[in-house]
Structure 1
Amino acid sequence: MDIHTWGDDMTKDKGLFSPTQLLLGFILLMTFVVGLSVKPSNASASSLEADFSGAAVKYKVPINLLKAVSYNESLFNNHSGKPSVAGGYGVMHLTDTSGLTPNGADSKASKIPNVSALHTLQKASKLTGISAQKLKTSSKANIEGGAALLAYYQKSLSKPLSSNVNSWYAAVKKYSQSDSKTAADFFAANVYKILAKGVKKNGVTISAQKVNALKDEAVDTTSNESANTDGPAGLPVEWVAALYKEFDDQGDYGNYDLADRPNDMKINYIVIHNTETSFQDALTLFSTPTYTSANYVVSSVEGTVAEMVRPQNVAWHAGNWYINAHSIGIEHEGYAAVGGFWYTENMYKSSAALVKYLAAKYNIPLDRQHIIGHDNVPGLTPTAQKAMHWDPGTYWNWNHYFDLLGVDLSQGQGDSSSNIITITPNEKTNLTSDSGQKVTDDGVDLPLAGSNFVYLYKQPGFSSDLISDKDFSTGQIGTTEKDDWTDKAVFGQQFSKVGQNGDWTEIDYGGQNAWFYNPDNSNSTNATGKLVTVKGSKSIPVYGSAYPAKSILKKNKVTGITPTPLYQMEPRQKYVYGGTVTSDYFNSHFDSNSAKNVIHGTDQYYQIQFNHRIAFVKASDANIIQ
C-alpha cells in the first residue's frame, strides 16, 4: 500500500465553489512581479496613526472601525508593497490581479476574468483619484483607498456615514468581497471582535469599545454552505467530496480510506500544508484519481473551507502512512516560497478556528509536536526522509497562528536553569543581513523578515558552517535554500539546552550539537517538560513511525512493511518528550472500515522532537527524565 504514503500538493482546475472563489484559481504564483519597481513604505507607527486619522476624517469613517478592518486584513503590515497570495496590497488589502501571472498544471497561462472583487484597488483609485501604483506602495494612500471603499459601501446601502461603529456591519461585510453570506459574516464578526477587545500592534492602537453590531440580514439572505459539515459554528465550510473509487479489480483505489476514528485509531496530529497552487485546483486534484487528498482545504481571499474527507476517515496527505492514520490534514491555498507573497489573515483566522475546534473535539494537544507542518512529518525510511515535503515553509507565521489558537508559545514556563527551551524568534528580527544570513530560492535572495526559524551552526559564530543531515544533504554543510529543512529550528519547537557561549545557545538536534544565535535569549523561551534519553550505554534506533514489530505484521499477513530506523540516538543526548503511543498499523481495504483493519502491537513508543521533524523511539530503549 505504498501509494497511501504519498500526497502531492499539485492540483488542477474545476469550478466547484462560488464565482469569487473560482477566480482564486487564477491567482497563482507570479514571477516576483517582474518590472514592478516598488519602494517599500517604511511608515513609522506614529505616521500610521496619523494616516488612519486623516483618512477617517476625510471619508467620515469611524477611525477604530477603519483600523479594525485593516488589522483583520493585514495586521497593519504593508508587506513592502508586494501582493498576498490573493492579490491584495497594503494594510487595507486592496486587490489587484492584473499584474499576476497564472500558471496552470499544464504551464499555460489562463486569462484572469475582469471581476470587481479582484480589483478593489482600481475601484479605490477611482474613488480617491490616487494612482493604482501609489495605492500599492504608500501606506497613507492605501488607507485612504480602504476608507473610501468603506464609505462607498455604506452609502450604497443607503446608510448614513455615522460615527457609530455598530451601524457599519453590513458595509464591513461588503468589504470582505465575499458572495458567501457565511464567509462575509465570519469576516465582519472578526472585525467586531477586534473592536470589542482592542488591539495594540506596531504602535497602532484600537481602543476597546462596546460592540452591538446592527446586522442587516436583508443585504444577503442566501447561503450556499451546507450544514452537513464538521466545523465550528460560523465558519464558512462547504462539503466537497474527495474521490473515493475502486480503479480496477486488483484492489487499486483512491483517494482516501474509510475508518472509524477516533474509535479505531486516535487522532494525534493536525498537519498544516499549503497547496502550491490554487484553491479550485486543489479541489479538482482531490476529486480525480490522483492518490492524494486532504480532510480540509482553506482558500486565501475569503478564508472559505472545503471539507473533502471526514475526520473519521484517513486522507492521504502526509507522505507517511502512520501519520496519515493518526492525523487530520489541512491544505491552505498558497506558496511556501512566498518571496513577494504572504498568507492572508482571512486564511489564518479560518484555519485557526477550524484547528481549535478539531483539537478540542479529538483531544489533540495545542503544541508544536501535535499541530505540525508537513515539513515536520518524518519519512518512513532514510530514502523517504530525503524526499519529504517542506511546506508550509519558512514564511508560515506559527507565532501568530498559535496566538489565534489561544496559546502563547513565547510565554516562559521555566527559569534560567531550565534545560528545555522553546524556539521563539521574532519574525522581524530573527535573521540579520549584517551577519551574512539569507534565505534563498535556487540562489535568489528571498526576504529575511517574516521567516519563522533560526539557523543552526556547527560552532558558535556566523563564520561557522551550517549543520546538515545525512539523509537529506548531499554534502557536509547545510544551505540557505528555502527547502533545506536540515539546518532550521522553527518557532514553537522545543529542544534540550546543552550550553551557552556568549550570544550563542547549544542544543541537541538530530544527533548533533547545534548552535543558534540567541542574544539575550531573544530567540528562545525557557520551558518545562520531560526529556527522553538512552537507556544504557549503547545507541538506540530512531523511527519515523510507531509500527508493530515485524513478527506481528507478518502474523497478520502484512508484507513489505518493516519498521526501519532513520537515525541512532546516542547516549547522553536528550530530546523533548511529546507523548507515549502504543504501536499499530492501519491495514486498510477498499470499502471497509472494520476495527479488524487496525493491527495492534505490544510495543510502546515515545514521541520526540528529534530534529526539524518529529520521530519515535521504543519505550523499552529509553528513559523519561524531568
Structure 2
Amino acid sequence: MSRTLALAVATIALTAPATPVAAAPADRQSQFRAAAAEFGVPEPVLLAVSYLESRWDANGGRPSTAAGYGPMHLTDVVAANAGGSHHDEGSEDPRGDDSRETLTPEPGEGDFDSPALRTIELAADLTGTDASVLRSDPAANIRGGAALLAHYQRPFGSSADPGAWYGAVARYSGATAAGAASAFADEVFSVLRQGVERVTDDGHRVRLAPAPSARPDTAAVTRLGLRGPVAGPTECPATVACDWIPAPYQQLPDNDYGNHDKANRPSSAKIDYIVIHDTEATWDTTLRLVQDPTYVSWHYSLRSADGLIAQHVPVKDVGWHAGNWYVNAKSIGLEHEGFAAQGSWYTEAMYRTSAKLVRHLAAKHRIPLDRAHIIGHDNVPGTTPATVRGMHWDPGPYWDWGHYFDLLGAPLRAEVGPWSPLVMVKPDYASNRPAFFGCDTANPSALCPARGSTSVILRAAPSDDAPLLVDVGLRPDGSPATMHISDHGSRVDTGQRFAVAERRGAWTAVWYLGQKGWLRSRDVVPVRGTLLTPVSRTIPVYGRAYPEAAVYPAHIPVQNVVPLQYTLSARQWYSVGLDTSSEYYWAASFDPANHAVVRGEKYYEIQFGHRVAFVKADDVRLVRWG
C-alpha cells in the first residue's frame, strides 16, 4: 500500500461491517440493487458509474488498460503489473524516416503509488473483502464500488436524490483536475438521464431506466479541492477536459533534435489519418516520457479512468509515433493510457472522450470517419521489407471498433444489397471470441481468457480446421500465421473493407495479401465503394507513397521508392481507401525554415492485409460499386 493511501485509511479508521453480508444475488441487475441498498447509494447512480467504467462487463477478471477490475473498475496497479511504453519494444523506429538515424527510445519506469490506481485497497477496507475476491467476483466488485461511492459521498451528506451524488461521482473518477472530474460526472449523468440497456459479456441483461429529470449538483466539484486546467493552446472540443502538456522541440548534441517536427499542416500537407495507439504505460509515465526531448512524441494522450485529454504537439506539427514517416507526416496520433494490453480492455470513459476528440478533429480537418482514415497503429504498414516484422500491433484485438464508431456517430453497417463485391468486416463483438494465446507472460502458451474481440481469423479454405494464411512479411519462411495475440498475419478487424474473391455456402473469401482468405459470411456486411485491380500481370505494393526521383529539388536527397515483399496479381481486387499525390516531408534539421514538401505521382491506399498499403495509380484500374 502507498504511504499516502495508508495514512488516509488509518485516519478514517475504516472497519468491516459488523454483521455478516447476505449471499449475493445471482443476476447482475439484482447485484447492483442489493449493493445500492446496502450502502445507501441511489441505484441509478451506481448503475451509471459502472456503465461509464465497464459497460457492466466482468471482463473475466482481467484488468483494464488502467489496472481496473470488474464492473466497477476497482484499480489494483500492483496486481496488473504495469510495464514500460510500447515505443520501447520491438525494432520499430517511431519516426520511420530514412533520412534520420534510427530512433531507439529508452524504456520508462512504472509508477505505482497513485491512489487512483489502487482503489481496490480502500474498497477492501470498506467492505472487509479480500482484494483477490474484489478482482474476480463481479458481485463483490459491485459491493466494493458502492462502498467507495458511499465513502466519497460522506462530506456531502446522505441523500436519495441522484443529483446530490454529483460530487461523489466526480471523486470516483480518480481525477486530480476539476475539469476532468466534472467531465466524468457529466458523462455519468448523461447516461443516467438517457438510460441504457444491454447484455453483459457474461450474459446478464442489465437496464438503467431513463431519468430525464435528474439535476446534478455540479457545484459540488468545487469542494473536492482539485486543480484547475493546465492552460495552453489546446485543440479540443469544449465538452472534454483538456490539459496542455507540451512535448519539447529542442536541439540536441551532434546536430540532432527532438522530439517532433515543426510543420504547417494542413497548408503544407493534408492530414489524412488519425492513428489510435495504446501506451502500455501508466499516465504519469506517459506524460514524463513525452516531455523528454530525447524520446518520441504524439499529439494527444487520453487517461483511462476519467477520459482526461492532454495535448502535447500542435496538430499542425508532425509527431513521431506511427513508425512510418509518410503516415506520421499526414496523421494525428492519439495515445490511450494502458498497459498489459495483451488481454486487457478499455474503459467506456476513455472510449467516449476519445470519440469526442476524433469527431472534433475529423470535422475540422475533413477526415472521413471510416477505417481507411481512422486507423490503429497495427494498421500502419512497414516502410520497407526490412521494417515489416518490427511494426507494432496496438491497440490490439480487444479495441472495440464497432462501439467506437457508434460513439463517433458513424455506425458501421450494411450499405447495399447482399451480393456486393465489396464487404466490410463486422462480427458480433460479444460473441466473437477467437482462441488467442500469449496474454500471460508467465505462461506464454496458455490460452487468453475467452472474451469478445474486434478481430476475425481468416482461413486458407472454407473450414474452421483449415490452416491460417501466410504473411511473408512476418514469416519469410512461408509458415502460416499463428493465434498469438500479436500475430495479425491472418486477421481482419471490424470496419475494414475487402473485395470478395469467392462465396461458398456460409463462407466468404476476400482478397488478402495476394491470397484468398475465408471467413464466415455472418462476419461481413455488403457495402459500396471503389475497388481496383492491376492493369498488368503483377504490380508492386508499397508501404509509403513517396514521389518519383525526377521531382526532387537538388538540395533534397531522393528517397528510394522501395516495394514491400508482396505483389498484387491480375484478377485480384482490393478496396480503395483514398487517393493521394505522393508526398515526402523533408524535415532533417532543427530549423523549420529548411523543411519542405515534395509531391509527385498519384497513389491509392488499399486495405491489403491487416495493414493498409499503397499502389501507384498508373498500375491499376478502378471500378466504383454502389
Question: How far 1:103 sits from its partner (Å)?
Answer: 4.9
2:59, 2:451 within 8 Å by CA — same for their partners in 1?
Answer: no
Q: Note the alpha carbon deviations across 1:441-494, whole angstroms, 9 max, x for none.
A: 543322341332111111111222111112221333111122222111111111
1:485 maps onto 2:488 in alignment:
yes
2:301, 2:310 within 8 Å by CA — same for their partners in 1?
Answer: yes
In structure 2, do the counterparts of structure 1 residues 379 and 119 end up closer, same or farther at CA, with 3 Å as the change threshold?
closer
Question: How far 1:393 sits from its partner (Å)?
Answer: 1.5
Distance 2:390 2:123 in 1: 46
Q: Note the alpha carbon deviations across 1:70-118, whole angstroms, 9 max, x for none.
A: 10011111112232232222111122334344556899987843x6434
1:245, 1:254 within 8 Å by CA — same for their partners in 2?
Answer: yes
1:75, 1:91 within 8 Å by CA — same for their partners in 2?
Answer: yes
Distance 1:244 1:107 in 2: 20
What residue in structure 1 maps to residue 72 of structure 2? 92
2:81, 2:340 within 8 Å by CA — same for their partners in 1?
Answer: no
1:472 maps onto 2:474 in alignment:
yes
Distance 1:575 1:108 in 2: 40
Comparing 372-381 and 438-447, the one that deviates more: 438-447
What residue in structure 1 maps to residue 165 of structure 2? 168
1:375-454 mapped onto 2 (5 Å cutoff):
375-409=378-412, 411-431=413-433, 437-440=435-438, 442-454=444-456
Q: Note the alpha carbon deviations across 1:548-582, whole angstroms, 9 max, x for none.
A: 111212x4433351111223221111111112111
What residue in structure 2 maps to residue 611 of structure 1? 609
1:70 maps onto 2:73 in alignment:
no
1:337, 1:482 within 8 Å by CA — same for their partners in 2?
Answer: no
1:242 maps onto 2:239 in alignment:
no
1:336, 1:394 within 8 Å by CA — same for their partners in 2?
Answer: no
1:46-445 mapped onto 2 (5 Å cutoff):
47-103=27-83, 112-113=112-113, 116-158=115-157, 160-162=158-160, 164-202=161-199, 203-210=205-212, 211-216=214-219, 217-220=221-224, 222-248=227-253, 251-290=255-294, 292-335=296-339, 337-339=341-343, 341-409=344-412, 411-431=413-433, 437-440=435-438, 442-445=444-447
The one-letter code sitting in structure 2 at the alignment partner of 1:501 is: R
Distance 2:49 2:466 in 1: 45
What residue in structure 1 maps to residue 463 of structure 2? 461
What residue in structure 2 maps to residue 31 of structure 1? none
Distance 2:109 2:474 in 1: 34
Q: Note the alpha carbon deviations across 1:504-545, whole angstroms, 9 max, x for none.
A: 2100111111112x1xx331122111111223x432222222
In structure 2, do the counterparts of structure 1 residues 556 and 398 end up closer, same or farther at CA, with 3 Å as the change threshold?
farther
Comparing 412-421 and 227-236, the one that deviates more: 227-236
Question: How far 1:220 sits from its partner (Å)?
Answer: 4.0
In structure 2, do the counterparts of structure 1 residues 562 and 103 end up closer, same or farther at CA, with 3 Å as the change threshold?
closer
Distance 1:174 1:342 in 2: 22
Distance 1:322 1:110 in 2: 31
1:264, 1:595 within 8 Å by CA — same for their partners in 2?
Answer: no
Distance 2:360 2:614 in 1: 27
Distance 2:37 2:389 in 1: 57
In structure 2, do the counterparts of structure 1 residues 560 and 109 end up closer, same or farther at CA, with 3 Å as the change threshold?
closer
1:514-533 mapped onto 2 (5 Å cutoff):
514-516=517-519, 518=520, 521-533=521-533
Question: How far 1:594 sits from its partner (Å)?
Answer: 4.8
Distance 2:298 2:243 in 1: 14
In structure 2, do the counterparts of structure 1 residues 235 and 270 end up closer, same or farther at CA, with 3 Å as the change threshold?
same
2:111, 2:282 within 8 Å by CA — same for their partners in 1?
Answer: no
Distance 1:387 1:129 in 2: 47
Comparing 416-425 and 341-350, the one that deviates more: 341-350
Distance 1:81 1:471 in 2: 35
Question: How far 1:137 sits from its partner (Å)?
Answer: 2.4
Distance 1:291 1:151 in 2: 42
Distance 2:294 2:430 in 1: 39
Question: How far 1:55 sits from its partner (Å)?
Answer: 2.1
In structure 2, do the counterparts of structure 1 residues 367 and 83 end up closer, same or farther at CA, with 3 Å as the change threshold?
same
Distance 1:462 1:368 in 2: 27
Q: How many residue pairs end up in the alignment?
A: 569
Distance 1:345 1:448 in 2: 20
1:269, 1:371 within 8 Å by CA — same for their partners in 2?
Answer: yes
2:501, 2:509 within 8 Å by CA — same for their partners in 1?
Answer: yes
SS of 2:63 mapped into structure 1: coil
SS of 1:416 mapped into structure 2: coil
Distance 2:367 2:265 in 1: 13
1:102, 1:109 within 8 Å by CA — same for their partners in 2?
Answer: no
1:86, 1:95 within 8 Å by CA — same for their partners in 2?
Answer: yes
Distance 1:596 1:298 in 2: 30
- Alpha-carbon RMSD across the aligned residues, in angstroms, is 2.5
Comparing 236-245 and 266-275, the one that deviates more: 236-245
In structure 2, do the counterparts of structure 1 residues 469 and 237 end up closer, same or farther at CA, with 3 Å as the change threshold?
same
Distance 1:512 1:362 in 2: 35
1:352, 1:405 within 8 Å by CA — same for their partners in 2?
Answer: yes
Distance 2:147 2:429 in 1: 32
Distance 1:188 1:497 in 2: 46
The one-letter code sitting in structure 1 at the alignment partner of 2:616 is: K
Q: Note the alpha carbon deviations across 1:242-275, whole angstroms, 9 max, x for none.
A: 12222235x4222111100001100000111122
Distance 1:505 1:457 in 2: 10
Question: How far 1:144 sits from its partner (Å)?
Answer: 2.2
2:65, 2:340 within 8 Å by CA — same for their partners in 1?
Answer: no
Distance 1:595 1:359 in 2: 29
Percent identity for Structure 1 against Structure 2: 40
SS of 1:530 mapped into structure 2: strand
Question: How far 1:326 sits from its partner (Å)?
Answer: 0.3
Distance 1:569 1:420 in 2: 17
2:58, 2:71 within 8 Å by CA — same for their partners in 1?
Answer: yes
SS of 1:57 mapped into structure 2: helix
Question: How far 1:420 sits from its partner (Å)?
Answer: 1.2
What residue in structure 1 maps to residue 562 of structure 2? 564
1:182, 1:234 within 8 Å by CA — same for their partners in 2?
Answer: no
Question: How far 1:373 sits from its partner (Å)?
Answer: 0.8
Distance 2:81 2:432 in 1: 31
Which residues of structure 2 form unaligned runs of 5+? 6-23, 89-105, 200-204
Comparing 366-375 and 457-466, the one that deviates more: 457-466
In structure 2, do the counterparts of structure 1 residues 109 and 494 end up closer, same or farther at CA, with 3 Å as the change threshold?
closer
Distance 1:561 1:595 in 2: 17
In structure 2, do the counterparts of structure 1 residues 491 and 382 end up closer, same or farther at CA, with 3 Å as the change threshold?
same
Distance 1:201 1:522 in 2: 21
What residue in structure 2 maps to residue 540 of structure 1? 539
Distance 2:554 2:350 in 1: 43
